[in-house]
Amino acid sequence: MKTKQIINAVDDSFFTIAVTYQWSAEEEWNQPRKKKEYTFKVPKTVKIEENDLVILPGNNNYVDVAIGRVTKVHEEPDIDFDADFDYKWIVQKVDFDSYVYLVSRDTTFNQKIKTHEIQNKRDQVLAAFGVSREELLPLLEVKSQDNRD
């Protein structure tokens, strides 16, 4: 056992995952090929499933980051105790819940504003002609093509 792996032998607060780096969506969809898998450590407090996206430390550890896709979740750490490298921790799981909420919030808000703007335009037109909506309803009635006058 390598000295740098002793901590991985005694620390039971993590599990490991196999990850492939995601270079781009285009590469992922247009050039399918077997990608090299890398093993990363994950705190047991983080819920991770296959196909989740995770943020990984880049080669510079603190400056660069990369995105990876989880290909396997190891219930028990998959550690090579004779490895000469340090196993790295994931930075975090990519969680789209906040993003989805914010996009939905913006969409709902914009729909309400648009509805309000349409109603304001209607009110302006009616006021300009000095008529009520009820007075115009008979003129706006849609008749089926079979019952044309």
Whole-structure pTM over 0.95, yes or no? no
Residue 112 Cα distances to 16, 52, 100, 108, 116, angstroms: 46, 34, 18, 6, 6
| Sign of the C-alpha dihedral computed for residues 112, 104, 27 and 31 taken in this order | negative
Indicate the angle between helix axes 133-140 and 97-129, nearest 10 degrees.
100
* Res. 78: pLDDT tops 80: yes
* Res. 148: pLDDT tops 60: no
What backbone phi and psi angles, to 5 degrees, belong to 94?
-80, 120
Strand partners, 42: 15
| Cβ-based burial of 70 (10 A; exposed 0-12, middle 13-18, buried ≥19) | buried
The pLDDT value recorded for residue 82 is 96
**In this predicted model, what pLDDT tens digit does every residue of 40-65 receive, in sequence order?**
999 999 999 999 999 999 876 666 88
* Res. 24: pLDDT tops 60: no
Cα 94–Cα 95–Cα 97 angle in degrees, nearest 5: 160
The C-alpha atoms of residue 117 and residue 125 are separated, in whole angstroms, by 12
Residue type, 106: D
